[in-house]
Every structure is written in C-alpha cells, then in structure tokens.
Amino acid sequence: MADTLTLYKLIVLKMLDQVETPLSNSQISEFILEKEYTNYFTLQQVLSELDESGLVTVSTSHNTSLYRITPAGRDTLEYFGDKVSDTICMEIQTYLKEKEVEIQDSLSTTADYFPAPHSGYLARCQVRERSSTLIDLTISVPSEDQAQAVCAHWKERSQEIYAYIMQNLL
C-alpha cells in the first residue's frame, strides 16, 4: 500500500510541476478518478500527506483548495519521478493540454470574501491574465449573504463590469 500511495503522490506532483498555476482539488480529482488510479478518499489522504510533508502548499479561495508544488516537491520529483510510467506522464500531459483553457479560466476570475475590520464584509473580486491583474475590486457590504452574492455573480458578470468601468473611466 505504501508503494501505491507513493505513486499517487508522484502523479499529483507531476501534474503540479507541469502547470504554472495552482490546480484545484476538483481538477486533480477529475484526472485521478477519471483514469481510475484510486478512489476519492485515498486521493484526499494523498493530498493531505503531500501538504503535511511540505511537498505542496494549499491555499483556499471561496471554498476551493488550490494546490501548488513546492521546491521540496520538485526535488522529490527529481529523485523519484522516474517511478511514474511514460504512459501516465503522457496521460497527465494530455489532460492538462485538454483542460488548459478551463484551468486558466478558473483561476483568472476569482472572488472571495472576508470579515471587514470594523463591521460587515469585504468581497474581493479579481480578473487576472497571466501574471497581470486587469481589475482588483474590493466591495464593502453589510452582510455575509451579500458578500456571498457578490462573489457568486462575479464570475458570470466580470467581463461586463470590467467593460462598463473601462468605458466610463476612459
């Protein structure tokens, strides 16, 4: 069992090593479960152990866990990456290529909220393109429900809002 867990960890590290942006838990899960390498619960154990051992970092944004490989994770791949078969490496590359636009879109438009220092909530909405931020908008709202609504609508309305702001400011 330890050998198979190690293989699953190496597969996840290979995935994270081949992208510049973090991958969400659901994106990693989609690949692993689609290929039937293991089940959901074992994968969650693998992700947790990778985080605990410092091979990946995990950040949370609006209830989404985002995983990024660390330098220690890259070192581990350098030493043990050859244990992942060429077939699996090709499947990873194919998956990432097919999902490239979807992965970029999921990370380029983000919204999250948090309690404001004195009262209410702040909803932070962003649109990024590669390493540039196109818009970074933080809105103060009185309730958590309103903050959730702002975040929920941002993804579908961000382009329209950005265009409106640019048209009115320029």
One domain for residues 42 and 92: yes
Q: 3-class SS at 63?
A: coil
Q: Same domain, yes or no, for 77 and 26? A: yes
Q: Both 84 and 65 in a single domain?
A: yes
Residues 6+ apart with CB under 8 A from 113: 62, 121, 122, 123, 124, 144, 147, 148, 150, 151
Which helix H or strand E contains 102, and what residues bound it? helix 100-108
Which residue, 84, 65, 105, 117, is CA-closest to 17?
84
Give the C-alpha separation, 162 to 154, whole Å.
10
Residues 12 and 59 in one domain: yes
The pLDDT value given to residue 1:
45
- Are residue 16 and residue 63 in the same domain, yes or no? yes
**What is the model's pLDDT at position 104?**
66
For residue 61, what pLDDT is reported? Answer: 67
Does 121 share its domain with 54? Answer: no
Residues 16 and 85 grouped into a single domain: yes
How far is it, in rounded angstroms, from Cα 4 to Cα 11? 11
Q: Which of 98, 119, 139 is the last residue of a domain?
A: 98
Co-location of 82 and 6 in the same domain: yes
Domains contained in the chain, number: 2
Angle of CA points 29, 32, 34, to nearest 5°: 95
Entry field: residues in the chain: 170
Q: How confident is the prediction along the chain (170 residues), in pLDDT tens digits per residue?
A: 458 889 999 999 999 999 888 888 888 999 999 999 989 999 999 999 999 999 999 987 656 788 999 999 999 999 998 889 999 999 999 998 888 767 666 667 888 888 998 899 999 888 877 667 888 999 999 999 999 899 889 878 888 888 888 889 88
Distance of CA 5 to the CA centre of its chain: 22
In this structure, are 9 and 93 located in the same domain? yes
Last residue of a domain, one of 67, 98, 129: 98
What pLDDT sits at residue 60? 78
| H helix or E strand, kind and range, residue 121 | strand 121-129
Domain co-membership, 119 together with 41: no
79 and 119, same domain (yes or no): no
**Residue 134: its H or E element:** strand 132-141
- Residue 47: give its domain's CATH number: 1.10.10.10
- Domain containing 115: what range? 107-169
User: How far apart (Å, rounded) are the C-alpha atoms in residues 154 and 141?
Assistant: 14
pLDDT, residue 41, reads 92
